[in-house]
Amino acid sequence: MTGKSAAAAARATVYGYPRQGQNRELKKAIEGYWKGRVTADALRETAAGLRRENWRRLAEAGVHEVPTGDFSYYDHVLDTSVMVGAVPGRHRAAVAADALDGYFAMARGTQEVAPLEMTKWFDTNYHYLVPELGPDTVFTADSAKQVGEVSEALALGHTPRPVLVGPVTYLLLAKPAPGAPAGFDPLTLLDRLLPVYAEVLGDLRAAGAEWAQLDEPALVQDRAPAELDAAARAYRELGGLTDRPKLLVASYFDRLGEALPVLAKAPVEGLALDFTETAAANLDDLAAAGGLPGKRLVAGVVNGRNVWINDLGKSLATLGTLLGLADRVDVAASCSLLHVPLDVAAERDIDPQVARWLAFARQKTAEIVTLARGLAHGTDTIAAELAANRADHAARAGSALTRDPAVRSRTGAVTDADGRRSQPYEQRAAAQRAHLGLPLLPVTTIGSFPQTGELRTARADLRAGRIDTAGYEERIRAEIQEVVSFQEKTGIDVLVHGEPERNDMVQYFAEQLTGYLATQHGWVQSYGTRYVRPPILAGDISRPEPMTVRWTTYAQSLTARPVKGMLTGPVTMLAWSFVRDDQPLAETARQVALALRDEVTDLEAAGTSVIQVDEPALRETLPLRTADRPGYLAWATEAFRLATAGVRPDTQIHTHMCYAEFGDILQAIDDIDADVISLEAARSHMQVARELATTGYPREVGPGVYDIHSPRVPDAAEAAGLLREGLSAIPAERLWVNPDCGLKTRGWPETRASLENLVAAAREIRADL
């Protein structure tokens, strides 16, 4: 292994590419197919066209091996379930009747059968369909999709590298099938699964694949010795096959840690490692493990999850160090480019100077190719690119957008006291009780009311110029009036304005904060045919004007009951955006927190006594490695307190988080020091209330008693039953009554009926107390 030959061989590659097409053609074709407007053949043709276009672009850019098999009609984990024959019993009839319709039945369910569960792909905003495996699962190989794409790429003259979810990650991401014995661990199925992978690999070899990539991102998480042993066994066995392509085992999203020596020792031909952000530790770990003698190293030095240009000089330095550690070093993005939008060049509304700092999938591909060229042929062959890159970084660092002196002096002057309420909780609680005069078990909602067709039409009319701003705001006020009068009539105690003016809980604020950018075409797949356009935190954040005050005060003017102000918290504002890479996340969070603090102050000054700051993303951005979590939670909780601690003791701060598992963040829930927290709890029978109680949580809690994910209406007896369960953990003085989450996805009829039942349940229990 000499640095020189490794350098000469350096090539550019990617692990995956955005699937949707320039104009989200895939979304349109699939949704058209579901509606019966597009035939299966037409859908297949669109898909093949998109793959052809992606490969052509990659090859023209200078990528040598193109990824195949990463394309998907819905999700690549679901594709893997199909590949290994893990079709749940309830979907088998649909799959047997028609493979494509059966595939979509697994993804979305049908009138008769429930879909697979969906959950987040590691710490990204992509969602995958969770495999359901049990002791009776029989795996059978179906390599048709993988082989088909290899043949397609070969026929077009490309060198394909099929990309598969690796067997260990596949099992670690699975959950026990319904009916599996308690404690069943899908990883125990490894020995049954490996022969199926062996068969698929044999088919890929026969189809002409020289290399295959097996993705094992689950190995970047903390793993038990038994799990590491399973990984060692899997790759010993697959590596030992004679009839197979060369194997590249890929890891991304973090460092491999203790899994690195395991994979380095495995009899496979290559390893792909992430060298960005916290995964940069892979560099020292790799050196400590003795490098990868005789193997191919694919170095993920271009961040595949952010939208910023690479620091080419820094990446070249990393690559230079790696040259001494492997037989061959290739250059890649840190992960699949699935997680970034397609092309900066499509953006017309972003200042061209600022657009130069941005890199989406196409631009990242070009960076990878440039780095590979520099590595293979010397940095003087990419002198022009390096100079332009340095100039762009300098422009970014010196720009008024990224350096607002007023914002910087403000964050620099933040003290501990700014993040602490002026009185301890017990005193505040007494002041709030006196100020608000609420009954026991006060009833409230989480914020949004149904986003009706009329509201969406109003927004579309405004965009299209069919109505003016005044006309639009008139419609919003009418909606607020209706929502307030409904809540009063129903007997809800703390009202909301219903959030009718918000397109999205992050975008709405991003559009009003200086320092945020919006894209026109920056779509990223969230799940299936759902794409989101995350705003970009590009510069220093400030709030030129109040963002919500007039809507909240308008609602308050219609009623004598308290109306709760409603904001999105700093952690969620970061989690559902593309964040800056030129300063620590803690600093960005502090800037957003101070902007929100201004809004909180203005709401209070305008007479708002209850203010809710939503943090549904607090848990989902937890770092993958537990060692990194305390640092994250420190800045995340500080940002929340900074946003909220400036209020008077008698102003009540609420927060809301919507998921059922809180084990990892119980301490953080305490640390944010909100007076009231509402949580999802209906499906888990108030489990979270019991968990919070065992930690001695001293503040008020609203465990949800209405599952808003379903159109089902809970009757009063059911809600009362849940409240009684809640009361066994939380005393009546500290228990609130509310749904699990906002009501924006629900219709009015079920919303009306459910909230009436919630009020009836609260009244029934109050009478007993």
Name the strand (E) or helix (H) holding 183.
none
- Was 501 annotated as part of a binding site? no
Which residue, chain included where needed, has tokens 């504002």?
A: 573
| Closest approach of ligand GLN to the CB of residue 706, in Å | 13
Q: Does the protein bind ligand GLN through residue 742 (CB under 6 A)?
A: yes
Judged by beta carbon, residue 505 or residue 537, the one nearer ligand GLN is: 505
Candidate residues 26, 359, 369, 446; the one interacting with ligand GLN per rule CB under 6 A = 446
Q: How far is CA 553 from CA 459, 481, 497, 654, in A?
A: 22, 12, 9, 18
Please pick, from the candidates 325, 344, 505, 686, the single residue that binds ligand GLN as defined by CB under 6 A: 505
Verify binding: residue 212, Zn ion, rule CB under 5 A. no
Counting contacts by CB under 6 A, is residue 448 touching ligand GLN?
yes
* Minimum CB distance to Zn ion, residue 657 (Å): 7
Q: Is 741 marked within a binding site?
A: yes
Interface stretch with ligand GLN, choices 193-201, 666-674, 708-716, 736-744 (CB under 6 A): 736-744
CA-atom Rg of the chain in angstroms: 27
Query: Could you tell me the smallest distance in angstroms from the CB atom of residue 568 to Zn ion?
Result: 11
**259, burial (CB in 10 Å: exposed 0-12, middle 13-18, buried 19+):** buried
Can you tell me which residue has the tokens 């701060």?
A: 653
Catalytic, 497? Answer no
Task: Find the distance separating the first CA and the last CA of the chain, reported in whole Å.
Answer: 77
Considering the rule CB under 6 A, would residue 616 count as an interface residue with ligand GLN? Answer: yes
> Looking at 40-48, 342-350, 644-652, 739-747, which segment touches ligand GLN (CB under 6 A)?
739-747
Q: Binders of ligand GLN among 671-700, rule CB under 6 A?
A: none
Structure tokens at 769: 């107390």
Which of 376, 741, 743, 759 lies at the binding interface for Zn ion (CB under 5 A)? 741
Of 363 and 451, CB closest to Zn ion: 451
Distance between CA atoms of residues 638 and 120, nearest Å? 25
Position closest to ligand GLN via CB: 742
- Yes or no: say if 63 and 12 are a contact pair by the CB < 8 Å rule: yes
For residue 746, the partner it binds in ligand GLN, Zn ion, none, with Cβ less than 5 to 8 A by kind, is none
DSSP summary character for residue 309 = P
> Which residue from 75, 614, 673, 675 is in contact with ligand GLN, where contact means CB under 6 A?
614
Q: Does 26 belong to an annotated binding site?
A: yes
- Residue 145 binds ligand GLN, judged by CB under 6 A: no
Q: Per the annotation, does 700 bind a ligand?
A: no
SS3 537: strand
Which residues 591-630 are close enough to bind Zn ion by CB under 5 A? 616
Give how many residues touch ligand GLN by CB under 6 A: 13
Question: Are 689 and 705 spatial neighbours (Cβ–Cβ below 8 Å)?
Answer: no
Those residues whose C-beta lies under 8 Å from the C-beta of residue 437, and which sit 6 or more positions away, are: none
Cβ nearer to Zn ion, comparing 336 with 612: 612
Residues listed for the chain:
769
78 makes contact with Zn ion (CB under 5 A) = no
Pick the binder of ligand GLN from 741, 759, 762, 765 (CB under 6 A).
741
Closest to Zn ion by CB, 546 or 565: 565
Out of 744, 746, 757, 760, the only residue in the binding site for ligand GLN (CB under 6 A) is 744
Asked whether residue 620 is marked as a ligand-binding residue, the answer is: yes
Tokens of 243: 């009839």
Report if residue 658 touches Zn ion, rule: CB under 5 A: yes
Among Zn ion, ligand GLN, none, the one that 562 touches (CB under a kind-dependent 5 to 8 A) is none
CA distance 381 to 103: 48
Q: Is 477 in the site for ligand GLN (CB under 6 A)?
A: no
46-63 core/surface letters (b: 16 or more CB in 10 A; e: else): bbeebbeebbebbbebeb
In the bound state with Zn ion, the residue whose beta carbon lies nearer, of 139 and 736, is 736
Residue 21 has phi, psi (to 5 degrees) of 90, 165
Query: Shortest distance, CB of residue 445 to ligand GLN, whole angstroms?
Result: 7
Q: Is 25 annotated as a binding residue?
A: yes
Is 447 a residue that touches ligand GLN (CB under 6 A)? Answer: yes
Phi, psi at 457, each rounded to 5°: -60, -40
Under a CB-based contact definition with an 8 Å cutoff, are residues 74 and 29 in contact? no
Alpha-carbon distances, residue 281 vs 119, 152, 288, 702 (angstroms) = 28, 38, 11, 41
> 446 labelled as ligand-binding?
yes
* Contact indicator for 487, 496 with CB cutoff of 8 Å: yes
Query: Distance (Å, rounded) from C-alpha 497 to C-alpha 555?
Result: 6
Can you say whether the dihedral through the CA atoms of 64, 70, 73, 79 is positive or negative? positive
Position 51 contacts ligand GLN (CB under 6 A): no
- Looking at this protein, which amino acid is placed at residue 138? V
Q: Does 29 help bind Zn ion (rule: CB under 5 A)? A: no
Annotated binding-site residue? 536: no
Q: Which is nearer to Zn ion, 102 or 616 (CB)?
A: 616
d(C-alpha 2, C-alpha 324), whole Å = 6
- Give the count of residues interacting with Zn ion (CB under 5 A): 3
CB of residue 750 vs Zn ion: minimum separation in angstroms?
17
H or E stretch covering 159? strand 159-165
Distance CA 488, CA 477 (A): 16
Give the binding range for ligand GLN (CB under 6 A) out of 87-95, 168-176, 441-449, 631-639. Answer: 441-449
Distance, CA of 175 to CA of 130 (rounded, Å): 7
Least Cα distance to 252 among 298, 288, 292 occurs for: 298
Q: Is 101 exposed, middle or buried (0-12, 13-18, 19+ CB in 10 A)?
A: middle
Residues that bind ligand GLN (CB under 6 A): 446-448, 499, 505, 566, 614, 616, 656, 658, 741-742, 744
Looking at the annotation, which residues are catalytic?
709
Binding site: which residues?
24-27, 120, 446-448, 499, 576, 614, 620, 656, 658, 680, 741
Residues that bind Zn ion (CB under 5 A): 616, 658, 741
Binding site for Zn(2+): which residues?
656, 658, 680, 741
Binding site for L-methionine: which residues?
446-448, 499, 614
